[in-house]
Structures are given as structure tokens and as C-alpha cells.
Chain A
Amino acid sequence: MNQPLSNPDMPVKQTGMAVLFCAVMKRDLMLAFRRRSDLLNPLIFFLMVASLFPLGISPEPTFLEQLAPGVVWVGALLATLLSMDSLFRSDFDDGTLEQTLLSPQPLFLVVLAKVIAHWAMTGLPLTLMAPLLGLMLFLPTEGMGGLMLSLLIGTPTLSLIGAIGAALTVGLRKGGVLISLLVLPLYIPVLIFGAGAVQAAVTGLPLGGYLALLGAMLALGIALAPLAIAAALRISVSG
């Protein structure tokens, strides 16, 4: 029992940033895989939303073909949004979020790792599933590459922005609808350029510009969103 206590002047064991990053990601992925049903819900939702459009508007292929880029993107956006609320909620409820905030480790990294893990379980599967929806909505095959690429670069930004909303509302019992109100307006640029990229791919125009803009937004999101998420988490826990 007589272990020496650490002295603040003494250099303290520093866990490497990469180790920390991996530990957080590993934990979140593990948590998700132990509750597999939660993992599937956004994907099922994505599929359902996309199938509502032919039912609600028209099953006419020429018509759906034009709608497809926007519908798939809106579906992916809503599915991401739907999954956001759970990002910090269980951590908040069981007290592990408090412990995270009291860690001497940089919160920026912890938060970024959590968001990336979240994206790997929602944005990435949505991207992989998108061609299926493209088929259902008669998206021309030329558009598939653009669809997947734009979702691949665009969905991480959606996760980052959505996490800000999740962090702001985690202390509230009725977070769900509120998150949408906060986050949807911020999703508009990603939607515009994402759907634009697919449209360009369909019509055979170069994609580079769109993807570059989506990439720029992602870079900005990685640099700034974790700061806002960290601040929002401290505020929510403090409340």
C-alpha cells in the first residue's frame, strides 16, 4: 500500500497522443459493437427515407433519376443527424463524461477520437450503402463514384458539426428534436456541395472542385469543431 505519490514537479508519465487516441476509439467502437442494433438503426432509416420518395412523388425513372443525388444526400444527412444524440448521452448518464472532462489529457483529441469512431459506425456504412439507394432511385452508374466520394468526404463533416449539437444538448432530457434545429442550418453547405458533386458526376462534369470544397470544409471542421464540442461539453456538464 505504500506507493509513493506523484509529485507535481516531477515529470509525469505521459501517455502518447496516439495511444490515447486509439484507446478512446477502441472503447467507442467496442461499445457500439456490443449494442449492434443501435448500429443498424441509422442505416435502416436511410433506406426507409429513400424509399419514401418514389412512393410520395412518382416511381417514374426519368423523374427519380433527377431527384436521386439530392434524395440520397438528404437521407444520409438525416440518418447522421438521427444518430448524433447518442454520441455523448450514455457517457453523460453514467458519469464517464465527467471523468473524461477531469482527465489531464487534451479534450480536443478525446473528442476528435470519439467523433471519428462515431463516423466509422454511421457515416462510413452510409457511404458504403449509398450505391444501393442510388440503384433504387435510378441514379445513372456514372454518378455512383461521385456519390460515394462526396459522401466519404462529406459525412465526417456532418458528424463533426452534429457532435457540436449533441454536446450542447447532452444535459437536456429532450435533446432529439432540438439537435436538428441547431444543426440542420449548419449542414446546408455540405448538402449543397455534396449533392452538387453527384449532379456533376452524372452530367460528366469534373468533380475536383466540389470534392476540394468538401475537403476544405472537412479540414475546417477537424480544426475547429472539436474546440466547440469540448467547450460545449464543459458547459453541459457544468449545468
Chain B
Amino acid sequence: MSEPLLEVRQLLCERDDRVLFENLDFSLNVGEVLQIEGTNGSGKTTLLRILCGLTSHYEGDIFWHGELRTQAREAFNRSLLYFGHQPGVKAVLTPLENLHWYSAMHPSMDASRVLWALEQVGLRGYEDVPCHMLSAGQNRRVSLARLYMNDAILWILDEPFTAIDKQGVAQQEALIAQHAINGGAVILTTHHELTMPGPLRRLNLDQVRETL
């Protein structure tokens, strides 16, 4: 067994005098899908933000390919795709312009697949419509189109199915499972009951806290 892709050791995070989680240990291997569960306010989003390096308010160590994540930021960022609470879509730009900007910022994104990716998320025909004229769900789809056009290994997805219709959810689930099979790894949170094919690991933050 080779070293895990991502390893978390003794993670501790406090928010406003409240311990969200403590002594949190887990690792993620290639080919795995990990769902972070927990009630509202249990720290799911905070955990994801810590994992991708947006938040530095934690104690403990995070390793990427056996190396401290803080010291391998560039390599880590190159292999990361993060889908956050806000879709990360500029309202005055068109879907096409948004995705082109993403591909300039993230070398793992392939600009030549933009149109194809938009077609996959059902936005063909909307390429040149400013995003503020699209619905909330469509805006999230613009951001989800990134999943179809990147070669990043690790996907960290925070509530990727919010405002997405049933059919879209099934499609994203299949995509996530496929990504794991292709040698990627996914960490996600969702309130949606996942029915995806393939193995799914779960980490419940409420249980982590109770066992303390």
C-alpha cells in the first residue's frame, strides 16, 4: 500500500470558543470518495476549507503525498479543484468568460474543453449570456462545468448539488464516481442522499465530537 494521497493528523479546530473537532485523524487514498457528514454548524465547511488551505485557523498536520501541505502548496493547489459555498462565478461575465478565466488561473483546466463542458452541464446555448441573467442553479452549473474540464486529482466539493435538479444530481454523482475510478479522489459534503455507484466512505463530524 503506497502512502495516502491526503493524510490528516490530530486536527483541531476551534471557532468562537467552541471546539468543532479535535484529534481528527483520517486519510484519503486514490480512488476513494469521502463524504463528510454532520448537522448544520458541525464544521463541515470549515473542515473542507482547512483541507484545501483557505483557512489557517487549525492545529495539527495535513500531509499531501507524505509532505506537509503548507510546504507543498503549489503542488497541492495544482492537483486541487475546490467547489465552495459561493459558486465562484462572476455575474457580469458570461459562462464562457468565467471558465476561460478559470483555465488561466488553474493550469489543470483545459480551455479547449470549455464548450464541451458547458454542453455536459446543459448550458449549451447560454455560453454568451451574462451570468446574472441565469438562474441560481444555472450559475452553480457554470461552476460545476469545471469538473468536466480539469485534470486535478483531488476534488473538494462543498454542497455541490445545491439548487441542482434531480437529473443533474444523478449526472454529477456518476461523474464523481467515474473520477474516483479514473484514479482521482473526492471529498464532499451534501445533505442529499448519495446513491452513487462504487464505494463511499463516510466521516461523521457529530460522531467524532461525541467520541471525545
Confirm or deny: A238 has a beta carbon within 8 angstroms of a beta carbon on chain B.
Answer: yes
Give chain A residues whose Cβ lies under 8 Å from the Cβ of B82.
98-99, 102
Confirm or deny: B193 has a beta carbon within 8 angstroms of a beta carbon on chain A.
Answer: no
- A102 x B65 contact (CB < 8 A): no
Q: Which of A6, A90, A100 neighbours the largest number of chain B CB atoms within 10 Å of its CB? A: A6
Confirm or deny: B165 has a beta carbon within 8 angstroms of a beta carbon on chain A.
Answer: no
Q: B102-130: which have CB < 8 Å to A?
A: 102, 104-108, 130
Confirm or deny: B79 has a beta carbon within 8 angstroms of a beta carbon on chain A.
Answer: yes
- B105 x A94 contact (CB < 8 A): no
Give chain A residues whose Cβ lies under 8 Å from the Cβ of B54.
98, 101-102, 237-238
Q: Which of B57, B84, B104 neighbours the largest number of chain A CB atoms within 10 Å of its CB? A: B104
- B77 x A31 contact (CB < 8 A): no
Confirm or deny: A174 has a beta carbon within 8 angstroms of a beta carbon on chain B.
Answer: no
- A238 x B55 contact (CB < 8 A): yes
Give chain B residues whose Cβ lies under 8 Å from the Cβ of A24.
104-105
- A6 x B79 contact (CB < 8 A): yes
Q: Which of A6, A20, A30, A103 contacts B97 (CB 8 A)?
A: A30
Confirm or deny: A185 has a beta carbon within 8 angstroms of a beta carbon on chain B.
Answer: no
- B105 x A5 contact (CB < 8 A): no
- A96 x B107 contact (CB < 8 A): no
Interchain nearest-CB distance for A97 vs B (Å): 9
Give chain B residues whose Cβ lies under 8 Å from the Cβ of A173.
none
> Once bound together, how far apart are the Cα atoms of A110 and B152, in whole Å?
21
- A6 x B91 contact (CB < 8 A): no
Q: Is the interface of A mostly helix, strand, loop or mixed?
A: helix
Q: Which of A8-16, A43-51, A123-131, A145-153 is near enough to bind chain B?
A: A8-16
Report B124-153 CB contacts with A as 1/0, cut-off 8 Å. 000000100000000000000000000111
Q: Which of A2, A12, A31, A103 contacts B90 (CB 8 A)?
A: A31
Counting chain B residues whose Cβ lies within 8 A of the other chain, the interface size class is 35 or more
Interchain nearest-CB distance for B205 vs A (Å): 20
Give chain A residues whose Cβ lies under 8 Å from the Cβ of B55.
237-238
Q: Which of A23, A102, A238 contacts B57 (CB 8 A)?
A: A238
Confirm or deny: B95 has a beta carbon within 8 angstroms of a beta carbon on chain A.
Answer: no
Q: Which of A5, A19, A31, A99 contacts B92 (CB 8 A)?
A: A31
- B84 x A100 contact (CB < 8 A): no
> Once bound together, how far apart are the Cα atoms of A15 and B183, in whole Å?
24
- A234 x B93 contact (CB < 8 A): no
- A94 x B89 contact (CB < 8 A): yes
Interchain nearest-CB distance for A170 vs B (Å): 14
Confirm or deny: B2 has a beta carbon within 8 angstroms of a beta carbon on chain A.
Answer: no
Interchain nearest-CB distance for A90 vs B (Å): 8
> Once bound together, how far apart are the Cα atoms of A3 and B149, in whole Å?
10
Q: Which of B53, B56, B75, B130 contacts A8 (CB 8 A)?
A: B75
Report B35-79 CB contacts with A as 1/0, cut-off 8 Å. 000000000000000001111110000000100000000110111
Confirm or deny: B211 has a beta carbon within 8 angstroms of a beta carbon on chain A.
Answer: no
Confirm or deny: A105 has a beta carbon within 8 angstroms of a beta carbon on chain B.
Answer: yes
Give chain B residues whose Cβ lies under 8 Å from the Cβ of A8.
65, 75, 78-79, 153
Closest to B78 in A: A104
> Once bound together, how far apart are the Cα atoms of A34 and B127, in whole Å?
17
User: Which B residues have a C-beta under 8 Å from some C-beta of A?
Assistant: 52-57, 65, 74-75, 77-80, 82, 84-93, 97, 100-102, 104-108, 130, 151-153, 175, 178, 182-184
25 contacts between A and B (CB under 8 A): A1-B175, A5-B151, A6-B108, A6-B151, A8-B153, A12-B78, A14-B107, A20-B105, A23-B104, A27-B93, A30-B93, A31-B92, A34-B130, A94-B88, A94-B89, A95-B85, A96-B89, A99-B106, A102-B52, A103-B106, A104-B78, A105-B105, A105-B106, A234-B56, A238-B56
Excluding A15-B104, A24-B105, A102-B53, 8 further A-B contacts by CB distance (< 8 Å) are A6-B153, A27-B93, A30-B93, A94-B87, A94-B88, A95-B88, A104-B106, A105-B107
Which 3 pairs from chain A and chain B are nearest by CB?
A95-B86, A23-B104, A95-B88
